[in-house]
Amino acid sequence: MLVDFELIKRAQNKDSAAFNEVVLAYRKRILGTISRLIARSEDVEDVAQEVFLRLYFSLDQLRTPEVFEPWLYRLTVNAAFDYLRKQRRRQEFRMSDLSEQQVLMADANAGSKVEHEEQTKKKVRESVDSLLGAVSEADRILLMLKEVEGLSLKELEQIYKVNENALKVRLFRARQRVLKAFGARGKKEGPG
């Protein structure tokens, strides 16, 4: 927990200063999670504000402060899912061609190490975003929370409020689909 229970209790009683502290404590983490879940940097703050807005108006429904973090994650997941559902448009990532071009451009520019690293990171981001296009928005979020955010099955169980076995099955299927896309892309790109 990044904050103590007392602060959450004060925020529950509509104490603005306490709520501010809670937001400041979790803001960076929530922004990071959302940026990886929705993969659109320009909308990250908007979705994060929506999360904290929902938190403000539903905080009084939280019975035990101990479950605050899974609950906040649940709000985050729901807000990200709503955003993705609204967007609905699956971007057609022409990943490999585009990245090759960018890498070539970077090389042509005889770029510095930093530039090269930035290009590599961009390539990785595009690659994962493209692979996750193989699964639904809901599964994308689930996979992200497990594989990238590093949440345990226990934590996911608290967030999704479903049993561990159901989560395992869903994760396995989603991962298999991503692996299939990963394998297919590997074959297309060829060895090396």
Partner 1 sequence: MSMRGNEDEKLDALFRAYRDACPDPEASANFMPTLWARIDSRQTFLFSFRRMANAFVTAAVALSIALGVYMTIPRSSAGSPSETYVEALAEANPLDNPDIVSPAARVELNAR
DSSP structure string for 73-102: HHHHHHHHHHHHHHH-PPP---HHHHHHHH
Residue of the chain from 152, 154, 179, 189 that contacts partner 1 (CB under 8 A): 179
Nearest distance from C-beta of residue 124 to partner 1, angstroms: 4
- C-alpha to C-alpha distance for 91 and 155, rounded to whole angstroms: 30
Q: Least distance from C-beta 154 to partner 1, angstroms? A: 17
Query: Letter for the amino acid at 42?
Result: E
153 touches partner 1 by CB under 8 A:
no
Other C-beta atoms lying within 10 Å of the C-beta of residue 68: 22
Per-residue binder mask for partner 1 (CB under 8 A), 30-69, x = binder = -xx--xx----x--xx--xx--xx--xx------------
> For partner 1, how many residues bind (rule: CB under 8 A)?
37
Does 26 contact partner 1 by CB under 8 A? no
The answer to whether the CB of 171 falls within 8 A of the CB of 146 is yes
Cα dihedral 161, 165, 166, 168, rounded to 10, equals: 100
Q: Which residue shows structure tokens 């101990």?
A: 66
Residue 162: burial class (beta carbons within 10 Å; 0-12, 13-18, 19+): exposed
Restricted to residues 97-126, the positions that interact with partner 1 (CB under 8 A) are 120-122, 124-125
The nearer residue to partner 1, 18 or 36, going by C-beta atoms, is 36
Binding site for partner 1 (CB under 8 A): 20, 23-24, 27-29, 31-32, 35-36, 41, 44-45, 48-49, 52-53, 56-57, 120-122, 124-125, 127-128, 131, 147-150, 175, 178-179, 182-183, 186
